[in-house]
Chain A
Amino acid sequence: MTSADTSALLTVRNVSMHFGGLKALNDVSFDVIKGEVLSLIGPNGAGKTTMLKIASGAQAPTTGKIAYKGTQIIGLSADRINRLGIGRTFQAAEIFDTMTVRENVMTGAVAREAGSVASSLLYWGRAKQRVEKLRQIADEALDLVGLGDMADLPAQDLPTGQQRLLGFARIFATGAELLLLDEPGGGLNAVEKTRLIETIRRLRDLGRTVILVEHDMSVIAQVSDRIVVLDQGLKISEGTPEKVKSDPKVIEAYLGTSASTVAPKPQKDQPAFRPVEMEVVDLTVTYGQTVAVDNVSLKLRTGEILTILGANGAGKSSLLKAIAGLEKPAGGTIKLRDKHIAGIPPDKIAALGLCLTPEGRALFPSLSVADNLALGRYVSLKRKRGLLGILALRQEDRDEIDAKREEIYQLFPILKERANQKAGTLSGGQGQMLAIGRSLMNDPSILMLDEPSLGLAPQVIDEILHKLEHLREQGLTLILVEQNASAALRIADRGYVFSSGRISMQGPAQDLLEDPSIRDAYLGGDDANTQTLRVNATQ
């Protein structure tokens, strides 16, 4: 706040950002010291990207101040902030795909070297010199990130990892001193990550300051000078990587509370003897050139809760989406009982009794709770009556919906109280119950839940987990994708741990719960070898 601390390049003071009732950032303050790599970490929804957006001028905070070299930057336009010296990259590479690699980087330097319009139109000597200058800046930046050889290729031909590096070169070429990098490691393979780490180190060696938002803890561990940890909009820890990694508050934020009232599940029955309900073999899911799920094979047995754990970006959601038919797999098979379902459209998969309750709930906020539930029965009604048949429902169909809805109300009584309210007015926990209820309306045989605990208070999480156990007792098979590992493992029968799109560990939930190395999957392992060994041991 004061200019006494001359080493602080950027000072963030009491920044809050409210979206309606949600506090994406809550009174966050920290300093960025010139020449350091500061990592901003935290579980999903912690507010990291919001922080970057505010610091780069893409959004204005609700309250708070940010000063860069003593200049207040809140309220300035994004291009103005960049010219002051703050550059930002995006989660996606966001390259200009109509240009070559070099032209992309030259565009980054234009604001420094534009010149007059007349000289641009006539392309006289001055303009030529300027373009030559841009070219030099671009080539230097490309050499820095190691793309010098590819300068003349169309930028869209580069693989994802190199597109990210291109984004760095572009932002470097603007001359920005403070670089805000938003998840540069997402979707990169090991070799590309090594190059990423080298590049970030080189940027620091050249005197640039970096704020890094990243989910891959191994990257964070290797490049950070300091770390700031956010959780649900609050700063919960700050310090060196070692200090932060051993901070109990950080561990709890990542792995979930250990004070859960859900009792660990006794190993009473052996799920291994149950029939296989669904089998995934060598499944691969890609987005463009990014591999999200890499040759994954797993089995789901009837009547079990299978949990899939892993850090953000490990490929858990992509796996569920591929099973639900929302993403076409690039390879592999998915067998539901004896039917191959990979690549089948989502409505047909829903009709087979395989339902997804997606991350973020995906409700219809302006429809009532009762209507949201009723729509959960769309597939079977449409199959039975056809598109025109559901224009006006028959009495028997209405009775069927009412009966089914009554079952859901018994499971979640609060929904009955709220039946005529719009879904958008529900609290987070009620919304999650509605999302689960909507899936159950379709009489699923397998229910897949993606991050049901996200953003919920511990008691609410416990309540929902209890209901899931109850559903299992009634014969439902569940797949539970969770960041809150300790809570998930308490109710699960078996678990798989994902990292970088692959299965790094698997086993009975009880074993995983007691395994210390699971922490590494979330908070970054010091040596990856232990994980590999464990995979071998369990196979």
Chain B
Amino acid sequence: MSDLLQLIISGLMVGSIYGLIGIGFTTIYNVTGIVNFAQGDLAMIGAILAITFYGLSLPLALAILLSVICVGVLAAIIERLAIRPLGNSVMRGIIVTIGVGSILQGVAISGWGTQAYSLPAFTSGGPIPVLGATILPQTFWILGTTVVLMVGLYLFFTRSYLGKAFRACAINSFAAQIIGIRLNNIRVLGFVLSGFFGAIAGIIVAPIALTQFDSGVAIGIKGFVACIIGGFGNPIGAALGGLILGIIEALSSGYLSSGFKNAIAFVMLIGFLVWKPTGILGELEK
């Protein structure tokens, strides 16, 4: 029983990260129609920057804040330089974002080499025993941050005027133009939000998983799987899909083989794509 609890907790933790990455996919996709294959690499850059700022003996909180802002700006630059000139082709969109991911990894290699880095835990202290399972304090930080971000995003979309304008663009970009919304503003906003979510995901997981130049690839793809499971373009779906994927992966590595764990996400991906392409919650309501 305690094993199961342990697995579920670690599943929730990993799933939160997938969910945050997945949300990053949706904020870009909904307003640009682009699937950003560099999403995971934004998370990696976020983690590496936070580690570096912390290494420059900034306080941890400030290092994190600074890194998140930097990645947001970076995402805006990506939109402006690589995505906006592109036009409307799916194949070219995919290849360009792969190119962006490659550049981000290249930058990471050039600046930080191929070795792995880690961030100190946000709060000190040993594992906490709960009902026979042991939980690292960082787990609480991950789950707590995820909950706060989800609630924040929900409030942004349902309460704030800007959030409603953002949704308006996702629902009907032509109508949004009619009421005077400049689409490019919102596209940049979508990228910045995506950068924020990616960077935070990368940073909160950095104390328990080492970060190196190619760490982003795997979590990026898993984040996409989370989106497909939950319903593509639907931010709540992405979060839910992330949690489901995290738990299934944790359980399968606990009870089946840990090696095939990596394949399970992709079997689920193909299964959902082919038999339930709208995911569990359906795509974004237009």
Query: In their complex, do chains A and B touch, with some C-beta pair under 8 Å?
Result: yes
Asked if B171 and A366 make an inter-chain contact with CB atoms under 8 angstroms apart, the answer reads yes
With an 8 A cutoff between CB atoms, is A114 at the interface? Answer: no
Interfacial residues of chain A within 77-92, with CB under 8 A of chain B in the complex: none
With an 8 A cutoff between CB atoms, is B185 at the interface? Answer: yes
Q: Using Cβ atoms and an 8 Å threshold, which residues of chain A touch B163?
A: 391
A513 CB, nearest partner CB in chain B, Å: 30
CA gap between A346 and B174 in the complex, in Å:
10
Check A376/B164 contact, CB under 8 A, given A364-B171, A365-B286, A387-B189: no
Asked if A442 and B286 make an inter-chain contact with CB atoms under 8 angstroms apart, the answer reads no
CA gap between A324 and B161 in the complex, in Å:
24
B75 CB, nearest partner CB in chain A, Å: 16
With an 8 A cutoff between CB atoms, is A367 at the interface? Answer: yes
Check A347/B168 contact, CB under 8 A, given A390-B161, A391-B160, A391-B161: no
Q: From the candidates B161, B167, B180, name the one contacting A374 in the complex (CB within 8 A).
A: B161
Asked if B181 and A378 make an inter-chain contact with CB atoms under 8 angstroms apart, the answer reads yes
Q: Using Cβ atoms and an 8 Å threshold, which residues of chain A touch B181?
A: 347, 378, 382
With an 8 A cutoff between CB atoms, is B175 at the interface? Answer: yes
Asked if B182 and A362 make an inter-chain contact with CB atoms under 8 angstroms apart, the answer reads no
CA gap between A438 and B178 in the complex, in Å:
10
CA gap between A367 and B166 in the complex, in Å:
12
With an 8 A cutoff between CB atoms, is B177 at the interface? Answer: yes
A431 CB, nearest partner CB in chain B, Å: 12
A425 CB, nearest partner CB in chain B, Å: 12
Q: Using Cβ atoms and an 8 Å threshold, which residues of chain A touch B189?
A: 387
Asked if B162 and A391 make an inter-chain contact with CB atoms under 8 angstroms apart, the answer reads yes
Asked if B162 and A387 make an inter-chain contact with CB atoms under 8 angstroms apart, the answer reads yes
Asked if B177 and A371 make an inter-chain contact with CB atoms under 8 angstroms apart, the answer reads no
With an 8 A cutoff between CB atoms, is B172 at the interface? Answer: yes
With an 8 A cutoff between CB atoms, is A330 at the interface? Answer: no
Considering the complex, give the chain A residue whose CB is closest to the CB of B182. A347
A365 CB, nearest partner CB in chain B, Å: 6
Q: Using Cβ atoms and an 8 Å threshold, which residues of chain A touch B167?
A: 364, 366-367
Q: Using Cβ atoms and an 8 Å threshold, which residues of chain B touch A391?
A: 156, 160-163
Check A390/B165 contact, CB under 8 A, given A345-B182, A366-B171, A367-B171: yes
Check A379/B160 contact, CB under 8 A, given A362-B174, A364-B168: no
Tally chain B residues at the interface, Cβ within 8 Å.
23
Considering the complex, give the chain B residue whose CB is closest to the CB of A356. B178
Asked if B174 and A350 make an inter-chain contact with CB atoms under 8 angstroms apart, the answer reads no
CA gap between A376 and B176 in the complex, in Å:
9
Interfacial residues of chain B within 109-163, with CB under 8 A of chain A in the complex: 156, 160-163
Interfacial residues of chain A within 340-384, with CB under 8 A of chain B in the complex: 345-347, 350-351, 355-358, 362-367, 371, 374-376, 378-379, 381-382
Q: Using Cβ atoms and an 8 Å threshold, which residues of chain A touch B177?
A: 326, 346-347
B239 CB, nearest partner CB in chain A, Å: 19
Q: Using Cβ atoms and an 8 Å threshold, which residues of chain B touch A4?
A: none
Interfacial residues of chain B within 259-286, with CB under 8 A of chain A in the complex: 285-286
With an 8 A cutoff between CB atoms, is A393 at the interface? Answer: yes
Q: Using Cβ atoms and an 8 Å threshold, which residues of chain B touch A382?
A: 180-181
CA gap between A375 and B172 in the complex, in Å:
13
Check A392/B168 contact, CB under 8 A, given A366-B286, A442-B180: no
Q: Using Cβ atoms and an 8 Å threshold, which residues of chain B touch A350?
A: 178-180
B236 CB, nearest partner CB in chain A, Å: 13
Q: Using Cβ atoms and an 8 Å threshold, which residues of chain B touch A388?
A: 162
Q: Using Cβ atoms and an 8 Å threshold, which residues of chain A touch B185?
A: 387
Q: Using Cβ atoms and an 8 Å threshold, which residues of chain A touch B175?
A: 358, 362-364
Asked if A366 and B285 make an inter-chain contact with CB atoms under 8 angstroms apart, the answer reads yes
CA gap between A381 and B162 in the complex, in Å:
10
Q: From the candidates A358, A376, A442, name the one contacting B174 in the complex (CB within 8 A).
A: A358
Q: Using Cβ atoms and an 8 Å threshold, which residues of chain A touch B179?
A: 350, 375-376, 378-379, 438, 442
Q: Using Cβ atoms and an 8 Å threshold, which residues of chain A touch B180?
A: 346-347, 350-351, 378-379, 382, 442
Interfacial residues of chain B within 161-214, with CB under 8 A of chain A in the complex: 161-165, 167-168, 171-172, 174-175, 177-182, 185, 189
Q: Mark B27-68, 1 if CB is under 8 A from A, else 0.
A: 000000000000000000000000000000000000000000
Asked if B178 and A364 make an inter-chain contact with CB atoms under 8 angstroms apart, the answer reads no
Q: Using Cβ atoms and an 8 Å threshold, which residues of chain A touch B178?
A: 324, 326, 346, 350, 355-358, 362
CA gap between A381 and B182 in the complex, in Å:
13
Considering the complex, give the chain B residue whose CB is closest to the CB of A387. B185
CA gap between A351 and B182 in the complex, in Å:
11
Interface core residue of B156, B171, B175 (most chain A CB under 10 Å): B175
CA gap between A285 and B175 in the complex, in Å:
21
Considering the complex, give the chain B residue whose CB is closest to the CB of A389. B162
Q: Using Cβ atoms and an 8 Å threshold, which residues of chain B touch A379?
A: 179-180
B233 CB, nearest partner CB in chain A, Å: 12
Q: Using Cβ atoms and an 8 Å threshold, which residues of chain B touch A387?
A: 162, 185, 189
Q: Using Cβ atoms and an 8 Å threshold, which residues of chain A touch B165?
A: 375, 378, 390
CA gap between A351 and B178 in the complex, in Å:
11
CA gap between A356 and B177 in the complex, in Å:
10
Check A371/B174 contact, CB under 8 A, given A366-B286, A379-B180: no
B162 CB, nearest partner CB in chain A, Å: 5
Considering the complex, give the chain B residue whose CB is closest to the CB of A346. B177
Q: Using Cβ atoms and an 8 Å threshold, which residues of chain A touch B164?
A: 367, 371, 374-375
Q: Using Cβ atoms and an 8 Å threshold, which residues of chain B touch A392?
A: 160-161
CA gap between A388 and B164 in the complex, in Å:
13
CA gap between A382 and B185 in the complex, in Å:
11
A421 CB, nearest partner CB in chain B, Å: 14
Q: Mark A390-420, 1 if CB is under 8 A from B, else 0.
A: 1111000000000000000000000000000
CA gap between A371 and B161 in the complex, in Å:
9
Q: Using Cβ atoms and an 8 Å threshold, which residues of chain A touch B156?
A: 391
Asked if B168 and A390 make an inter-chain contact with CB atoms under 8 angstroms apart, the answer reads no
A521 CB, nearest partner CB in chain B, Å: 28
Interface core residue of B160, B163, B165, B185 (most chain A CB under 10 Å): B165
CA gap between A357 and B171 in the complex, in Å:
17
Q: From the candidates B160, B168, B174, name the one contacting A367 in the complex (CB within 8 A).
A: B168
A33 CB, nearest partner CB in chain B, Å: 42
A400 CB, nearest partner CB in chain B, Å: 12
A265 CB, nearest partner CB in chain B, Å: 29
A47 CB, nearest partner CB in chain B, Å: 23
A419 CB, nearest partner CB in chain B, Å: 15
CA gap between A347 and B165 in the complex, in Å:
13
Q: A346-B178, A365-B171, A366-B286 are in contact. List 9 more A-B contacts (CB 8 A).
A: A326-B178, A358-B178, A364-B175, A375-B168, A376-B179, A379-B180, A381-B161, A382-B180, A390-B160
Q: Which 8 A-B pairs have the closest CB atoms?
A: A350-B180, A379-B180, A362-B175, A347-B180, A366-B285, A390-B161, A347-B182, A391-B162
**23 intermolecular pairs with C-beta atoms under 8 Å apart:** A346-B178, A350-B179, A351-B180, A357-B178, A358-B178, A362-B178, A364-B167, A364-B168, A364-B172, A366-B286, A371-B164, A375-B165, A378-B161, A378-B181, A382-B181, A387-B162, A390-B160, A390-B162, A391-B161, A391-B162, A392-B161, A438-B179, A442-B180
Q: Could you list which residues of chain A lie within 8 angstroms of chain B, going by C-beta atoms? A: 324, 326, 345-347, 350-351, 355-358, 362-367, 371, 374-376, 378-379, 381-382, 387-388, 390-393, 438, 442
